[in-house]
């Protein structure tokens, strides 16, 4: 006897429940309703378009595995989306969308860029003779485009330069193009948008997006497998190379050496290079000077925190794309309340939409105020090592260059140790990264600094005051 749609879905839910925490399960899977099974295709109903997009973005692999257990290989998922903008509507509009079958912005390949031939997928493109350039997977997210990147004073230069590169890759003075700025300001989105634009305008060009960490891991693998030449050759074939979070190369001399070689080859042959970083080239620590000088050949464009008008426009665009109408007063309140970065702004909106959709409540000012209040309280502000060093230097009235110098004067050493101590306490950086940014020190020096600070604040009243004052400045800033 064949299983019913309800049985199949309940079995899938049991599998899902074992792989996510209770809150995620209640928020994103309990509201899904199984509709029908037709062959190997399962149709489910979800409350809204943003709900569908969130599932596709974050849980598609899990959903695929769950329904495969009940329907076997080849199982497919189709969403029936019931728009619930007005909950008193007896016949809400619906739409059906197939699952993409994979995460949209995270490529399935983990260790190597994927190259395809006409017949099959090649797992390791570096050792395949006669690799065809046109078959290299760009690793781009097609959802990150210029159309859904909101322009404002905070990013106008970066977006304009990106548009110019998209129209003429390698043909402008913006080579390399470095996009830099804090977390959640749109660097990765803009980098993908440039790549997507180039692919649309020049389908024959080979575009590749790769994170700096993934590039480093591939390089390490190539050394281990004795295939460094293949690694270099592969990257030298690329027409447009996009490296995300290039600051991750900091302190990795061998990786910087091989990237320098690849960079020179591409630049000399008129290929386009696009880089993103969380700070300007002049502020990058642990980078070889010859590489930093290459970064400055083209244009470095920063992305800053969006102003109120830009934040309102971002929210309006997101709501419009999701087919949801919200009073302008409410949109402005959200934009006023969340002013840190775009990622947190969109995160707050998703939380509000989820609460409204799941509980079938209209989006009222009362609901939004309660959700925003919870969101702001639960969001910890990210503090950078640069910010900590600035606060410490301001407190002791000393220039940053002195803090990072090699001087062994007692007051300078203590300020440096306090910078390391708070960097370890308040950031997610590794000990090696902290040491690198605090005067090219090693991780052992950072550990020693932390122990020294802990000892001194227990035995020296004046030093304890330093720690308490700086703690207040850093947590209340």
Per the domain annotation, does 366 fall within a domain?
Answer: yes
Together in a domain, 203 and 58: no
For residues 245 and 296, membership in a common domain is answered with yes
pLDDT above 90: residue 143: no
Kindly state the tokens that stand for 422.
């708070």
Distance CA 232, CA 235 (A): 5
Last residue of one domain, picked from the residues 378, 396, 427: 378
Closest CA to 80 of 42, 54, 24: 42
Which residues make beta-bridge pairs with 79?
A: 44, 97
pLDDT at 368: 80
Q: Please give the pLDDT value at position 83.
A: 53
389-417 confidence digits (pLDDT tens): 888 998 898 888 888 888 888 889 999 99
Same domain for 323 and 398, yes or no, is: no
| Same domain for 314 and 231 | no
* DSSP per residue, 55-116: HHHHTHHHHHHHHHHHH-TT-EEEEEEE--SSTT-SS--EEEEE--SS-SSS-S-SSS--EE
Q: Kindly list the distances between the CA atom of residue 411 and the CA atoms of 346, 392, 402, 456, 463, in Å, as whole numbers in the listed order.
A: 44, 12, 11, 13, 11
Name the least confident of 38-42, 69-73, 87-91, 264-268. 87-91
> Which pLDDT belongs to residue 476?
63
pLDDT at 104 over 80: no
Inter-CA distances, 321 with 53, 222, 255, Å: 11, 43, 41
User: What local confidence, expressed as pLDDT, does residue 264 receive?
Assistant: 92
Total domains present in the chain: 4
Q: 119 in a domain, yes or no? A: no
Cα separation of 239 and 187, whole Å?
A: 21
Query: Which of 17 and 429 is assigned the larger pLDDT?
Result: 17
CA–CA separation, 288 vs 213, rounded Å? Answer: 17
Q: Are residues 299 and 312 in the same domain?
A: no
pLDDT value of position 17: 86
Q: Give domain status of residue 424, yes or no.
A: yes
> Is the backbone of residue 72 left (phi > 0), alpha (psi -120 to 50) or beta?
left
pLDDT reported for residue 244: 92
- Read off the pLDDT of residues 238-291 as tens digits, 9 standing for 90 and up: 999 999 999 889 888 899 999 999 999 999 899 999 999 988 888 788 888 888
Listed ranges 190-194, 334-338, 342-346; the one with the highest mean pLDDT: 190-194
Got the DSSP string for 337-387?
H--S-HHHHHHHHHHHHHHHHHTT----HHHHHHHHHHHHHH-PPP--HHH
In a shared domain, residues 321 and 470 = no
The CATH number assigned to the domain holding 469 equals: 1.10.1750.10
Are residue 254 and residue 197 in the same domain, yes or no?
yes
- 118, part of any domain: no
CA 248/CA 222 separation, integer angstroms: 19
Residue 35 structural domain? 5-98
267 in the same domain as 147: yes
CATH code for the domain in which residue 155 is found: 3.40.50.300
Task: Note whether residue 114 is domain-resident.
Answer: no
Give the mean pLDDT of 123-138: 49
How confident is the model at residue 53, as a pLDDT? 73
Within a domain: residue 160? yes
For residue 50, the model assigns a pLDDT of: 66
Q: Pick from 378, 409, 424: which residue ends a domain?
A: 378
CATH, residue 38: 3.30.300.180
104 lies in a domain?
A: no
Confidence check: pLDDT of 134 > 50:
no
Tell me: pLDDT of 15 over 80.
yes
- pLDDT at residue 126 tops 80: no
Does one domain contain both 148 and 201? yes
Compute the distance between CA of residue 392 and CA of residue 383 in angstroms, rounded to an integer: 13
Statement: residue 420 has pLDDT above 70: yes
Mean pLDDT along residues 207-234: 89
Nearest to 66 by CA among 34, 110, 26: 34
Tokens of 382: 């990210």
Which value, to the nearest 10 degrees, does the dihedral of the CA atoms of residues 145, 147, 149, 155 take? 110
Residue 210's CB: how many other CB atoms inside 10 A? 20
Question: pTM higher than 0.85 for the full model?
Answer: no
Query: What is the average pLDDT score of the chain?
Result: 79
Q: What is the CA radius of gyration of the chain?
A: 25
Among residues 324, 346, 378, which one ends one of the domains? Answer: 378
Determine the Cα–Cα distance for residues 28 and 321; give it in Å rounded to an integer: 20
Clarify whether residues 435 and 464 are in a common domain: yes
Q: Which CATH number fits the domain that encloses residue 335? A: 1.10.8.60
361 lies in a domain?
yes
Mark whether 172 and 237 lie in a shared domain. yes
The mean pLDDT of 56-66, rounded to a whole number, is 83
State the Cα–Cα distance between residues 189 and 179, nearest whole angstrom. 11
Query: What pLDDT, on a 0 to 100 scale, did the predictor assign at position 2?
Result: 66
Looking at residue 84, its pLDDT comes to 46
Please state whether 439 falls in left (phi above 0), alpha (psi between -120 and 50) or beta: left
* Backbone dihedral region for residue 245 (phi beyond 0: left; psi -120 to 50: alpha; all else: beta): left
pLDDT band at 85 (very low <50, low <70, confident <90, very high): very low
Residues 173 and 249 in one domain: yes
Section 306-323 average pLDDT: 78
- The reported pLDDT for the residue numbered 303 is 87
Highest mean pLDDT range out of 176-180, 295-299, 354-358?
Answer: 176-180
pLDDT at res. 133 = 46
Could you tell me if 146 and 159 are in contact, meaning their C-beta atoms sit under 8 angstroms apart? Answer: yes
Burial degree of 40 (CB within 10 A; 0-12, 13-18, 19+) = middle
- Check residue 3 and report its DSSP letter: P
CA dist 360 and 386 (Å) reads 45
């Amino acid at each position: 006897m064949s299983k019913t749609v309800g049985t199949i879905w309940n079995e899938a839910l049991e599998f899902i429940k074992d792989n996510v925490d209770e809150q995620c399960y209640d928020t994103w899977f309990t509201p899904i309703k199984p509709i029908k099974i037709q062959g190997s295709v399962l149709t489910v109903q979800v409350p809204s378009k943003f709900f569908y997009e969130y599932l596709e973005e974050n849980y598609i692999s899990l959903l695929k595995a769950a329904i495969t257990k009940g329907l076997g290989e080849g199982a497919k998922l189709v969403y029936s989306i019931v728009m619930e903008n007005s909950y008193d509507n007896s016949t809400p509009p619906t739409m059906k969308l197939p699952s993409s079958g994979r995460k949209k912005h995270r490529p399935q390949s983990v260790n190597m860029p994927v190259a395809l031939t006409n017949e099959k997928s090649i797992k390791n493109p570096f050792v395949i003779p006669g690799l065809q350039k046109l078959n290299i997977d760009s690793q781009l997210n097609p959802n990150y485009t210029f159309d859904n990147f909101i322009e404002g004073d905070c990013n106008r230069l970066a977006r304009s330069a990106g548009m110019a590169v998209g129209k003429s890759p390698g043909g402008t003075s913006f080579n390399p193009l470095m996009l830099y700025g804090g977390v959640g300001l749109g660097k990765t989105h803009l980098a993908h948008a440039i790549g997507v634009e180039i692919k649309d305008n020049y389908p024959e060009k080979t575009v590749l997006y790769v994170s700096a960490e993934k590039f480093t891991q591939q390089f390490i693998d190539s050394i281990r497998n004795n295939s460094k030449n293949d690694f270099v050759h592969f990257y030298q074939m690329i027409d447009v190379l996009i490296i995300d979070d290039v600051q991750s190369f900091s302190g990795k001399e061998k990786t910087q050496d091989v990237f320098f070689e690849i960079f020179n080859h591409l630049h000399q042959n008129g290929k386009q290079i696009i880089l993103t970083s969380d700070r300007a080239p002049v502020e990058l620590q642990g980078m070889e000077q010859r590489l930093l000088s290459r970064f400055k050949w083209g244009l470095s464009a920063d992305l800053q925190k969006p102003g109120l008008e830009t934040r309102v426009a971002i929210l309006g665009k997101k709501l419009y794309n999701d087919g949801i109408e919200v009073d302008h007063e409410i949109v402005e309140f959200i934009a006023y309340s969340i002013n840190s970065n775009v990622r947190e702004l969109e995160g707050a909106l998703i939380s509000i939409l989820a609460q409204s959709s799941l509980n079938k409540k209209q989006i009222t000012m009362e609901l939004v105020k309660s959700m925003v209040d919870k969101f702001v309280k639960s969001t910890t502000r990210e503090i950078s090592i640069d910010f900590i060093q600035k606060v410490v230097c301001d407190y002791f009235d000393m220039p940053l260059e002195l803090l990072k110098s090699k001087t062994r004067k007692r007051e300078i050493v203590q300020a440096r140790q306090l910078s390391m101590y708070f960097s370890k306490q308040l950031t997610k950086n590794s000990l090696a990264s902290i040491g690198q940014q605090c005067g090219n020190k090693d991780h052992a020096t950072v550990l020693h600094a932390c122990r020294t600070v802990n000892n001194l604040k227990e035995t020296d009243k004046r030093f304890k005051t330093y720690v308490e004052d700086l703690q207040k400045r850093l947590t209340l800033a």
